[in-house]
Amino acid sequence: MTQLAGKVAVITGGSASIGLATARRFVAEGARVFLTGRRAEPLAAAAGDLGPAATGVPGDVTSAEHLDRLHAAVAEHGRGLDVLFANAGGGSFTPFGEVTPDAFDETMASNARGVYFTVQRLLPLLNRDASVILMSSVGGTVAVPGLSVYSAAKAAIRSLARGLAAELGERGIRVNAISPGYIRTKPGQADVDAFQAAGAAGTPLRRVGRPEEVAAAALFLASGESSYVTGTELFVDGGRTQV
């Protein structure tokens, strides 16, 4: 039996990489999936590839108007929401002394503010015993030079998972964070490949991870297999932070 049969899921940042790999896994496990993405063309291609069980809802999680649009699309489906994977985010390398206020605000908005208000806006749709999964990062735990703002935002997400787990637990809603390590999300880019190769050398498993491996962790947290798991941070990092 599929693990998410009859469930409705939302995945933000679902048109590529970890988000798309998770959408594929959720659809394969029987879920009806709503995907968001800022770029309409890749989002439409992703939804088309996933088939009739997926719907693309173009939008940016930092926009209240776009979150309203997402809320309306899921509400129209009429079955509430069982799984929310707040995955959208990202960052770039900038030395601490060169970070501008605008760059700080942009990174915090996409990685922390956007996650916070995505959950808040979709909260009325969450069914009892729903699962909320927040995308954090090993960067919120270990130091990565040049990623000070991104790391601060991801550390905030870890704290948010705890706070929401405590606040929403009375409704049976579970809230957990996933913290990936070095994941091969953009193969073929020389600077990214070099960064990941260096990271793999310091990882006990001596390799980078695959988006599908993060998707498997998301499936665990989304399914009934984790029915008594909440407030946790699940590292998918080849042992990078734990060994």
Candidates 150, 182, 186, 228; catalytic one: 150
3-state secondary structure of 189: coil
Candidates 7, 116, 154, 228; catalytic one: 154
Neighbours of 119 (CB within 10 A): 19
Neighbours of 69 (CB within 10 A): 15
3-state secondary structure of 99: coil
User: 169-206: buried (b, 16+ CB within 10 Å) or exposed (e) per residue?
Assistant: eeeebbbbbbbbbbbbbeeeeeeeeebbeebbeebeee
How far CA 67 is from CA of 58, 63, 123, 137, 168, in Å, comes to 10, 6, 12, 23, 20
Q: Output the six-digit token pair for 174.
A: 């579970």
Active site residue 154: yes
Active site residue 182: no
Q: What whole-number distance in Å separates Cα of residue 233 and Cα of residue 136?
A: 8
Please give the distance of CA 48 from its chain centroid, rounded to a whole number.
Answer: 21
Would you name the residues annotated as active-site residues?
Answer: 150, 154
